[in-house]
Copies of this chain bind each other. A is one copy, B any other.
Amino acid sequence: MTLSFASPETASAISTDRLLCAAQNQPVDRPPVWMMRQAGRYLKSYRDLQEKYPSFRDRSEIPDLAVEISLQPYRAFQPDGVIFFSDLLTPLAAMGVDFEIVDHKGLILAEPVRSQAQVDALRPLNPEASLPFIGEILRTLCNELQEQVPVLGFVGAPWTLATYLVEGQNSTHYSIIKTMAWQEPVLLHQMLARLARSIAIYALYQVQNGAQMIQIFDSWAGHLTRQDYATFVLPYQWQIIRAVKAIYPEVPVALCVHDSAALLPLMETSGADVIHVDWTIPMAQARKVLGDRPVQGNLDPCVLLGTPDLIRDRTLDVIQQAGTQGHIMNVGQGILPTTPEENVRCFFETVRSATYPLVS
């Protein structure tokens, strides 16, 4: 494959369809691009707001603030999609789980969920009643963007949410939830099933309020053997994807798991339209495993701490290896807060300048 390069001006005509087309494996003029954590701490405009509103829950739950934060990177870099600013854990509060999100430490649960009584007490999610601000954020974003680019919804998958519930905080080894998996599998499956039902409803609520694509994060499922992934992860991912597809077959679903190089074949069986790929596996090799299934990711976010030449070389290398169809350019994991804004600009401009030769 050879790439041709248009000047950023010519190539910057924004199509609302580029991201959705690529996610559905339809031809596009160039790879669409967005970034995991594209709204956040690396942006000075975000840090200014953070100073004024120090509570993460305020920033993500007050609609005006969350909309403003979601749009900051769009105004700065014109990505091909806008993901709404929120957290994987936001719906847990609405299920009756009492937690705090502490800067630099992540989630701290008042009481880890480990007993039958606690699992039974997890309330089914009713987003209209308990998360109305999410609907408002999404509707406002759609209104602001006027279909220039699609709005992306996202949810945490049951295994990953359960790691927080059971471990009570961020974990290194996931030893408590794995012990539950071995010793009380029925209890854990009950928890996962409850989460799956609520998260499916949450994903549908996001689509009903304007999300045009759903990103599922099962961040910590990559710490499992293939056997455990098939037992405790896959059926619940599948349940959410099936629920979305049953009602909105046209809405693409993307699936992201960290440290997933060896799990790509199983990720594909989830029914997700787009498979997120980390950077430990070359994109060309992921392509061999996944065939023509749309792919996303693959750039080490630390590359954006490097020189402009490095950023251009590595970005174009991923694009070359991914081929000319079914590829969404993205970082393999969330962009780091220490990333300079000019490097992010270099990344976006590089992708915008790479037009496929196969499509005019």
Report the bound CA distance from A226 to B259 in whole Å: 14
Best-buried of A183, A225, A338 by chain B (most CB within 10 Å): A225
The complex places the Cα of A190 from the Cα of B271 at a distance, in Å, of 48
The distance from the CB of A343 to the nearest CB of chain B, in whole angstroms, is: 11
Is the pair A280, B225 in contact by a Cβ cutoff of 8 Å?
A: yes
A259-292: which residues lie under 8 A (CB-CB) from chain B? 259, 261-263, 279-282, 285
Q: Is the CB of B262 within 8 A of A302?
A: no
A39→B272 CA distance, assembly (Å): 44
Interface of A is mostly: helix
Instruction: Determine the chain B residues whose CB is within 8 A of the CB of A357 once the complex forms.
Output: none
Q: Would B262 and A306 count as touching, CB distance under 8 A?
A: no
Decide if A174 is an interface residue (CB 8 Å cutoff): yes
How far, in Å, is A160 (CB) from chain B's closest CB? 16
Q: Is there contact, CB below 8 Å, between A280 and B263?
A: yes
Q: What 1/0 mask marks residues of chain A from 140 to 175 whose CB sits below 8 Å from any chain B CB? A: 000000000000000000000000000000000111
| Interface membership of chain A positions 333-356, coded 1 if the CB is closer than 8 angstroms to chain B and 0 otherwise | 000101000000000000000000
Q: How far is the CB of A320 from chain B (nearest CB, A)?
A: 13
Please name the residue on chain B nearest to A309 by beta carbon: B182
Q: How far is the CB of A121 from chain B (nearest CB, A)?
A: 26
Contact status B302-A178, CB under 8 Å: yes
Copies of this chain present in the complex amount to 2
In the complex the two chains form, is A307's CB within 8 Å of B263's CB?
no
- What is the CB-to-nearest-CB distance from A49 to chain B, in angstroms, rounded to a whole number? 24
Give the CA-CA distance A336 to B302 in the complex, in Å. Answer: 30
- Quote the shortest CB–CB distance from A68 to chain B (angstroms): 27
Asked, given contacts A175-B336, A282-B226, whether A306 binds B182 with beta carbons under 8 Å apart, the answer is yes
Chain B residues with Cβ below 8 Å from A228 are 300
B338 contacts A175, CB within 8 Å? yes
Are B225 and A174 neighbours in the complex by a CB distance under 8 Å?
no
Given A183-B307, A302-B173: A222 in contact with B280 (beta carbons within 8 A): yes
CA distance A225 to B299 in the complex (A): 9
Whether, in the assembled complex, A109 has its beta carbon less than 8 Å from a beta carbon of chain B, the answer is: no
- A182-B307, A307-B182 are known contacts. Are A225 and B300 too (CB-CB below 8 A)? yes
Q: Are B305 and A175 in contact (CB-based, < 8 A)? A: yes
Whether A303 sits at the interface, judged by CB under 8 Å, is yes
Asked if A76 is at the interface of the complex by the 8 Å CB criterion, the answer is no
Q: A88: CB under 8 A from chain B? A: no
> Does A179 make an interface contact (CB < 8 A)?
yes
A1 contacts partner chain B, Cβ-Cβ < 8 Å: no
Query: Is A62 an interface position by the 8 A CB rule?
Result: no
Enumerate chain B residues within 8 angstroms of A280, measured Cβ to Cβ.
Answer: 222-226, 259, 261-263
Measured CB to CB, the closest approach of chain B to A125, in angstroms, equals 29
A and B contact pairs by CB, cutoff 8 A, 25 listed: A173-B301, A173-B336, A174-B302, A175-B302, A175-B338, A178-B302, A178-B305, A178-B306, A179-B302, A182-B306, A182-B307, A183-B307, A223-B280, A224-B280, A225-B279, A225-B280, A226-B281, A227-B282, A228-B300, A259-B259, A261-B261, A261-B262, A261-B280, A262-B280, A262-B285
